[in-house]
């Protein structure tokens, strides 16, 4: 049971079984209604899921290897939209090939229905994102902000970076107006994140570094 006042985000859950306690997997709490991906395959622009209003929140699945899901939507000239895919079977950036790791690293591609002399239905890729930044130990969920230069019908493709798929390859697709930041998981209790690219430095930085080396002195603070 999830209390009604629970803040949206990812929360770890474990199950207690006769064989012991399971590993933690994230459970997503959404702040608005979720639309389930319609049954069947949606691997072409003709079978794409029609997004009728924005903001939109979808729950989908790549049920087999090599599968991709297409979503169609309309954008106006000069409009900025944020697209984010959050994996329910998260891939954590680590050494080795993503193709050999049984987790879901989603990727996003936006196509324009432009056509060509040879194929009137040809899609032209105009934007792509695998993850905002690749950092060891961080999730690899895709986040893409794009400004559309002209009005028209567009197609969004969701796939696994290395073509994986299966019953556990579920995802949450968020489409929001304007530029929105990534939906990160809740921060650690002490706010410390060694693998982050940014870090707040305060006047006690020298003392903090000294304590890491086993020295707890009283060096002068940095002004």
pLDDT of residue 84: 94
Residue burial 188-201, b: 16+ Cβ < 10 Å; e: rest: eeeeeeeeeeeeee
pLDDT of residue 188: 44
Residues lower than pLDDT 50 in the chain: 185-190
CB 81 within 8 A of CB 108: no
The whole-angstrom separation of Cα 21 and Cα 129 is 35
Beta bridge partners of 156: 71, 110
pLDDT of residue 186: 44
Which residues are within 8 A (CB) of 190 and not within 5 positions of it... i.e. 6 or more apart? none
pLDDT of residue 28: 83
The whole-angstrom separation of Cα 32 and Cα 198 is 31
pLDDT of residue 192: 53
For 33-82, give the DSSP string: --EEPPSS---SSTTPEE--SSSEEEEEE--STT-EEEEEEEE-TT-EEE
The whole-angstrom separation of Cα 105 and Cα 163 is 9
The whole-angstrom separation of Cα 92 and Cα 185 is 13
pLDDT of residue 214: 72
Q: Please tell me the pTM assigned to this model.
A: 0.74
Tokens describing residue 183: 């939906």
The whole-angstrom separation of Cα 54 and Cα 52 is 7
The whole-angstrom separation of Cα 21 and Cα 34 is 30
CB atoms within 10 A of CB 216: 8
């Amino acid at each position: 049971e999830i209390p009604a006042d629970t803040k949206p985000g990812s929360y770890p859950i474990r199950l207690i079984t006769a064989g012991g306690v399971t590993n933690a997997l994230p459970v997503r709490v959404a702040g608005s209604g979720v639309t389930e991906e319609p049954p069947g395959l949606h691997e072409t622009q003709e079978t794409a899921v029609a997004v009728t209003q924005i903001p939109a929140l979808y729950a989908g699945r790549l049920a087999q290897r090599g599968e991709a899901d297409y979503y169609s939507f309309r954008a106006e000239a000069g409009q900025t939209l944020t697209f984010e895919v959050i994996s329910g079977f998260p891939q954590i950036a680590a050494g080795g090939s993503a193709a050999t790791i049984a987790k879901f690293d989603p990727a996003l591609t936006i196509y324009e229905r432009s056509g060509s002399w040879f194929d009137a239905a040809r899609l032209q890729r105009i934007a792509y994102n695998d993850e905002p930044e690749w950092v060891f130990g961080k999730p690899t969920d895709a986040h893409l902000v794009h400004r559309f230069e002209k009005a028209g019908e567009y197609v969004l493709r969701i796939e696994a970076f290395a073509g994986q798929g299966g019953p556990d390859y579920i995802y949450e697709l968020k489409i929001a107006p304007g530029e929105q930041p990534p939906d990160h998981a809740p921060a650690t209790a002490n706010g410390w994140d060694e693998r982050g690219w940014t870090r707040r430095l305060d006047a006690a930085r020298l003392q903090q570094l000294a304590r890491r080396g086993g020295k707890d002195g009283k060096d002068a603070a940095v002004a």
